[in-house]
Amino acid sequence: MEPSPFRTEPVSFTRRGGRLSERQQAGWDAMADDYVIEVPRHGPSTSVDPAYVLDAPSVFGRVAPLVVEIGSGRGEAIVHAAQQHPELDFLGLEVYVPGVAQTLVTMRHEGVTNVRLAVVNAAEALTTMIPAGSVHELRIWFPDPWHKKRHNKRRLVTPQFAALAARVLEPGGVWRLATDWQDYADQMLEVLSGTADFDFAGDWSERFEGRPLTRFEGKGLRVEREIRDLRAVRRTA
């Protein structure tokens, strides 16, 4: 049966528009052809044609461990990580085009070349676009908490999403998460505790030292929210 080009499940994001600033447009014009992946669509502008499978060695021009960051935003974390680890390849999945453009600006300024970006719905990307067992690390920093109870169903981290994370991670691969909303942190803890696909200590982790202090984390700290980190490892059998 052909997959529907229209989404039947709630998505975890709000598709935000917004014009590019002059600087962002210049960065996009100079960098997008080389660093933004052209993803074939199947309906909405953030959809992924289920027949499309990412060929990471071709896209990056080398074979290296792949780190995927979901919701890479303006690129603060992913560009920092790529600078710190030139031996790794980084793929940012983001639906906000000005955020992708700003990431390109920062990459250009910092001389970072081991990042690629895709404007996609992450759940679709993990379902078909990213090959099974091809991801060394999966990172989700401060996803939209959808804090109103009636919107909780739109949260990204669910048992169904955990199955997608398990699909793409290599055996022994690491899934890292962070949030400043305790209610969402509790949900993440419950999801990780309830999956048979991951080894999980059942408690919060120390703050991941590879994550820079982003504006989202800073905003949470300013209003005295506790930052929760979680870490789970894909089981090898």
What pLDDT was estimated at residue 13?
Answer: 41
What pLDDT was estimated at residue 237?
Answer: 73
What pLDDT was estimated at residue 79?
Answer: 98
What pLDDT was estimated at residue 59?
Answer: 98
What pLDDT was estimated at residue 12?
Answer: 44
Q: Which domains does the chain have, with CATH numbers?
A: 22-234 (3.40.50.150)
Report the candidate in 164, 165, 128 with the shortest Cα–Cα distance to residue 48. Answer: 128
Read off the tokens for 5.
């080009």
The residue count of the chain comes to 237
Digit-by-digit pLDDT tens for the chain (237 residues) are: 444 544 445 444 444 456 899 999 999 999 999 999 999 999 999 999 999 999 999 999 999 999 999 999 999 999 999 999 999 999 999 999 999 999 999 999 999 999 999 999 999 999 999 999 999 999 999 999 976 776 578 899 999 999 999 999 999 999 999 999 999 999 999 999 999 999 999 999 999 999 999 887 888 899 888 999 999 999 997
What pLDDT was estimated at residue 215?
Answer: 81
DSSP one-letter code for 26: H
56/45 Cα distance (integer angstroms): 22
Amino acid at 194: G
What pLDDT was estimated at residue 219?
Answer: 83
70/120 Cα distance (integer angstroms): 10
Hey, which residues are catalytic here? 144
What Å distances lie between residue 167 and 26, 87, 124, 127, 182, CA to CA? 37, 24, 12, 8, 27
Burial 154-167 (b: 16+ CB within 10 A, else e): bbbbbeebbebbbb
**Class of residue 63 by CB neighbours under 10 A (exposed 0-12, middle 13-18, buried 19+):** exposed
204/178 Cα distance (integer angstroms): 10
The 10 Å Cβ neighbour count of residue 11 is 16
What pLDDT was estimated at residue 150?
Answer: 61
